[in-house]
Amino acid sequence: MKKSPWILLIFVLIGGLLGGVLGEILRVMAPHGTIQTVFATNFVLGITEPLTIDLVLLKFTIGFVLKINLLSLLGMFLGIYLYKNV
């Protein structure tokens, strides 16, 4: 059976979302210390300040930010693993 790359993308996105949610829960619930530092630290990639292009008739505002923590990366790898083995 041939697997679609779109299904892989869905598995990776769902794994990343679930890992990100778990990381945010851990950031709030865990006591300050090593666990919170390792698992709940976010790395921000992207355009943090929105880019605005004003063409008089049209105005575009573009922004894109990825907040990645260790648990979201683990969730993405789990999604890839499940995709390959299911």
What is the C-alpha to C-alpha distance for residues 17 and 9, in angstroms, rounded to an integer? Answer: 12
For 36-68, write each residue's pLDDT tens digit: 788 778 888 888 888 899 998 999 999 988 889
Tokens of 52: 């605005």
Statement: residue 1 has pLDDT above 70: no
Domain that holds residue 34: 5-85
For 12-37, write each residue's pLDDT tens digit: 999 999 999 998 888 888 788 887 78
Question: Closest Cα to residue 36, out of 45, 27, 44?
Answer: 27
Q: How many domains does the chain have?
A: 1
